[in-house]
Structure 1
Amino acid sequence: MISAAMRRTIKSSILHVNDRSSTSMIKAVVFGSSSQIARAAIGLLTNIHAQVLIPCRTSSKWVDYLRIGNFKFISFRQQLDLKDPDILDQVLENANVVINTIGGYHYIRDYDTLYESNVTVPRRIAEACARNPDILRLIHFSAVGIDPASTSPRLQTKWHGEQEVKAAYPNVTILRPTTIFGEYDNYVTRMGLIQQMIDYLPVIDDAKELRQPIYYKDIGQCVINCLRMPETIGKTYELGGPNVYSNREIMEIVYNKIGKPPNVRSIPYRKAHKFIQYMPHTFGFSRHMSLNDVEESQMDIVVSKDALKIEDLKVKPVSFPQNLMRILQDYQAKVDLTMDEALHGWYGGHDRTYEP
C-alpha cells in the first residue's frame, strides 16, 4: 500500500496524459453511480486505468451494468449507510478523487427526501473529504438554474447543497449541467415513450421555455478534464450544449427523428399545477410528469452569460440532433416490416438488439 506521504507528493498531477502505456494514479470513489453522468465518467476513468470504487446504498445489482467495461478496475461497496461518518471514512480511506453525482430524482415529491439527497448527503461526503488529507479532488454535480427562492424544489435544494459542500470543502469543483440527454435518459427517451403510449406529447402552456441540452458523454469528458487541469480547483462551471431551443422546438426535432408528424397538446399551467399537487404519487405517472417538471416549465434553464462554460474545460459539445437517431431508434416509425421482423422484433419490430 502506498503510504500517505507518497500519495501527497502526487499533488494535482494525477494523470499520466502523455504515456498511453502508463497506469493512472487515480483512485476514485463515485457516488450516485446509477446516474447517467456517473456511467459516462466511470467509463472514461476505467479507460485510463483508474481504480474506481462504487458505493451502493442497497445491492450492487442496480449498477451491475457498469461491470461490462474494464471490470477489473471497478469494485463495489454494498449496503452502505451514508449516515455513518465512520463508514464514509472507510470508503474514502484509499481514495484521492471523489466524484459526487447523487441527486434526488425529478419525480420525488417528498421534500425531506429531496433535501437529504441534494443537501444532507453531499454535505456528509464533503465533510468526509475534508477529514481525509489524501483527497486531492472533489467534484460535485449541481444544476443550472439553482436559486434559493426557486419554485422548483429540485433547484432550490440543489442551491442549498452547493452552499453546504462549499462550506465543508472550499476546494470543491462544482459542475452545473443543463438538461441532459443520451441513451436511456429521462428526457428524450421519455418523450418517445410518452408519445408511444398516448400518441401525443403534453406540454405546459406554449412550451416556450428555453433549454440547452447537453450530451451526457460530454459531461463525462468534463470530469476527466477537470482532473487534468489543476486550475479548476475551487471553481464552478455551467455545462450546456452548443445550441439553445425552446421546449416546443425540441419536441418537433424529436418527432422529426422518429418520423411522425408533431402532435403536441397544451395544458394550462394552473390546471397542471393543481392536478399534480393533488395527484397521489404513483411511479407510473409522476415519473413522466412531476411537480418539478411543471414548475420548471415556467423558467429558462440555460448557461449564464458570465459563468465559466464547457469551453473553458476544453470540451466541444455535440449538438442536440446529432445523436437522436440512435437514442430514439426504439420509438421510430417502422413501416414495411418483413414477416421476420414482425415475428421476432419486440413491439412490432422496435428492438435495438434485433438481428435477422
Structure 2
Amino acid sequence: MFVLLNRKIVSKILHVNDPSSGSQLRVVIFGGNSQLAPSLGNLLGYLGAQITFPTRTSAKWIDHLKITVSFKNLAIAHFIDYKDPNIIDRLIANNNVVINLIGANQYLKDEDHIYEGNVTIPKRIAEACARSSEVIRFIHFSAAGADPSSSSSRLRTKWIGEQEVKAACPEVTVIRPTTIFGEGDNFVMRLAFLNRWLGFTPVIGDAKELRQPVHYHDVGLAIVNALKIPESIGKTYELGGPHVYSMKEILEIIYDKIGAPPNIKSYSYNGAHWLYTKVPHAHAFTRHMSLDLVRESKIDIVVGKDALGIDKLFVKPLSFPQNLQRILADYQAKINLTLEEAEHGWSGGNDRHFSP
C-alpha cells in the first residue's frame, strides 16, 4: 500500500505496515527531501524494507521517492511539524531502524534555521530512539570537518548536533560524509550550470581548498552495510571518495568532461565575506553562494587521518571522474530541453529543471 500523508491526516496515520513483506526491516528515513534519500531508499527497498519518509515540506523529490520501494512498503509523510513534542515518537512507532538525513539548507542565512536542522531536530530524534523499545539501530548524518570552533555555521552546528545525539543515544552510528555528489546534485550540477549561465565559474580565493568527493550511491551502500554490522553501533565513520582534489582540479575535471574551456574567475575572500555580512539580503541576489560557502572556501573537507573510513564498511568507492559521465549526461539533457523550450517560446528560465 502506497500512502501520501497530507497535512490533515498526518497526526493520525503515520505508518504503513504490511505483514506480508518478507523483510524485518522497518525503516524511518528523516530528510526525505535530501539528495541521498532516493538512493538509500532504493537500496533498502531492494532488501524488502518497509520505509517511511517524513518531510517538513511537500517533497521536491517525491517522484523519486515513489519508485524507490514497492508501493505496498512505502509511506511519505508530508508537512511534519517538528514542534509537536510527540510527532517523532509517533513516526518511529513500530519501526526498528531510524536514519536521520536532515540538514539545514546551506544557502540560507538564518542561523536559527541552521541550528534547528543540525542540532534541535536531530537531538529530538535521538531522544525518541532512546525511549523506543523497538528501535534497534539509529544512524545519524553529520559532516566531515565538523568542528566546534569552525567558522562555518554548518560544520560548527553539525559538531554540536553530534554531541547532543551521542549524549541522548550512545548506540548511534554517526556518518560523516565529505562532499556528496551525484545525479541532480548541488555540487557538480551547480558548478556546471554556473559556467553555462555566466560563461565562467566564480571561486573564492585561489580555489586550493581540498575536497574528497564521494558518490551518494557509495554512501548509501555504506549505510546498508553499517546496518548489517553490529560492530558499527556506537562508532563514527568518515566517508570520502578514493582521491583528494583541490577545488581548482575539480573544476578542471568538470570542464574537460563537458568540453568547455577552463574559465575560472577568482574573487577575494575578504570582499565576498564583506558582501554577505554587510549587504542586506545579498544572498537573495547570488543564490549559488552564501556566507557559509564563503567561509568553507578556506576549509579542507576530507576524511580525517585517524578516522574510520568507508573501507571499514566494506565499500570501495568509485572515483570522481568515473562517476561524472552519467551526471553530466543529465546536465546536457537539461540544457537541450531548455534550448528546445526556448525555441518554442517558453521563458521560465533554467530553474524549471535545476534548483541548487
- Whether TM-score is above 0.5 comes out as yes
- Residue 84 (str. 1) matches residue 94 (str. 2): no
CA 331–89 in structure 1, closer or farther in 2 if over 3 Å, else same: closer
More displaced 10-residue stretch of structure 1: 150-159 or 33-42 = 33-42
Report the AA paired with residue 154 of structure 1: R
1:43 alignment counterpart: 42
> Percent identity, aligned pairs only?
56
1:263 alignment counterpart: 263
Report the AA paired with residue 32 of structure 1: G
**Separation (CA, whole Å) in 2 of partners of 1:134 and 1:113:** 31
1:308 alignment counterpart: 308
Report the AA paired with residue 314 of structure 2: K
**Separation (CA, whole Å) in 1 of partners of 2:137 and 2:331:** 41
The question of whether the paired residues in 1 share the 8 Å contact of 2:102 and 2:118 is answered with yes
Deviation at 1:342, TM superposition (A): 10
The question of whether the paired residues in 1 share the 8 Å contact of 2:275 and 2:282 is answered with no
Deviations 1:193-237 (A, max 9, x none): 111110100111110111000001101111100111010000000
**Separation (CA, whole Å) in 2 of partners of 1:36 and 1:61:** 10
More displaced 10-residue stretch of structure 1: 311-320 or 70-79 = 70-79
The question of whether the paired residues in 1 share the 8 Å contact of 2:194 and 2:201 is answered with yes
Structure ID, larger Rg: 1
Report the AA paired with residue 63 of structure 1: I
2:16 alignment counterpart: none
Report the AA paired with residue 46 of structure 2: N
- Residue 127 (str. 1) matches residue 131 (str. 2): no
More displaced 10-residue stretch of structure 1: 73-82 or 267-276 = 73-82
Q: Counterparts of 1:222-233 in structure 2 under 5 Å? A: 222-233=222-233
The question of whether the paired residues in 2 share the 8 Å contact of 1:106 and 1:287 is answered with no
**Separation (CA, whole Å) in 2 of partners of 1:149 and 1:191:** 28
- SS at structure 2 position matched to 1:308: coil
Deviation at 1:59, TM superposition (A): 3.1
1:4 alignment counterpart: none
- SS at structure 1 position matched to 2:28: strand
Q: Counterparts of 1:4-153 in structure 2 under 5 Å? A: 23-60=22-59, 63-69=62-68, 70-153=70-153
**Separation (CA, whole Å) in 2 of partners of 1:52 and 1:184:** 23
The question of whether the paired residues in 1 share the 8 Å contact of 2:27 and 2:99 is answered with yes
**Separation (CA, whole Å) in 2 of partners of 1:128 and 1:274:** 41
Aligned residue pairs total 324
- SS at structure 1 position matched to 2:86: helix
- SS at structure 2 position matched to 1:85: coil
TM-score (norm: length of structure 2): 0.85
Report the AA paired with residue 134 of structure 1: E
CA 101–213 in structure 1, closer or farther in 2 if over 3 Å, else same: same
**Separation (CA, whole Å) in 2 of partners of 1:40 and 1:332:** 22
2:177 alignment counterpart: 177
1:276 alignment counterpart: 276
Report the AA paired with residue 308 of structure 1: L
Q: Gapped runs of 5+ residues in structure 2?
A: 1-20, 335-339
The question of whether the paired residues in 2 share the 8 Å contact of 1:143 and 1:177 is answered with yes
Deviation at 1:78, TM superposition (A): 2.5
2:299 alignment counterpart: 299
Deviations 1:30-74 (A, max 9, x none): 000111122211111111110001112233565243102333321
- SS at structure 2 position matched to 1:275: helix
- SS at structure 2 position matched to 1:138: strand
**Separation (CA, whole Å) in 1 of partners of 2:99 and 2:306:** 25
2:323 alignment counterpart: 323
**Separation (CA, whole Å) in 2 of partners of 1:47 and 1:281:** 44
CA 58–205 in structure 1, closer or farther in 2 if over 3 Å, else same: closer
Deviation at 1:275, TM superposition (A): 1.2
- Residue 155 (str. 1) matches residue 192 (str. 2): no
The question of whether the paired residues in 2 share the 8 Å contact of 1:85 and 1:128 is answered with no
**Separation (CA, whole Å) in 1 of partners of 2:287 and 2:227:** 34
**Separation (CA, whole Å) in 2 of partners of 1:252 and 1:61:** 31
**Separation (CA, whole Å) in 2 of partners of 1:194 and 1:79:** 32
The question of whether the paired residues in 2 share the 8 Å contact of 1:259 and 1:333 is answered with no
More displaced 10-residue stretch of structure 1: 59-68 or 28-37 = 59-68
CA 75–294 in structure 1, closer or farther in 2 if over 3 Å, else same: same
**Separation (CA, whole Å) in 2 of partners of 1:55 and 1:272:** 36
**Separation (CA, whole Å) in 2 of partners of 1:122 and 1:342:** 43
**Separation (CA, whole Å) in 2 of partners of 1:138 and 1:287:** 34
Deviation at 1:130, TM superposition (A): 0.7
CA 64–271 in structure 1, closer or farther in 2 if over 3 Å, else same: same
**Separation (CA, whole Å) in 2 of partners of 1:140 and 1:170:** 11
2:254 alignment counterpart: 254
**Separation (CA, whole Å) in 1 of partners of 2:215 and 2:108:** 24
Superposition RMSD in Å: 2.5
The question of whether the paired residues in 2 share the 8 Å contact of 1:141 and 1:175 is answered with yes
CA 60–271 in structure 1, closer or farther in 2 if over 3 Å, else same: closer
CA 99–39 in structure 1, closer or farther in 2 if over 3 Å, else same: same
- SS at structure 2 position matched to 1:238: strand
Deviations 1:163-205 (A, max 9, x none): 0000000000000000111001100000011111101001111
CA 265–39 in structure 1, closer or farther in 2 if over 3 Å, else same: same
Report the AA paired with residue 178 of structure 2: T
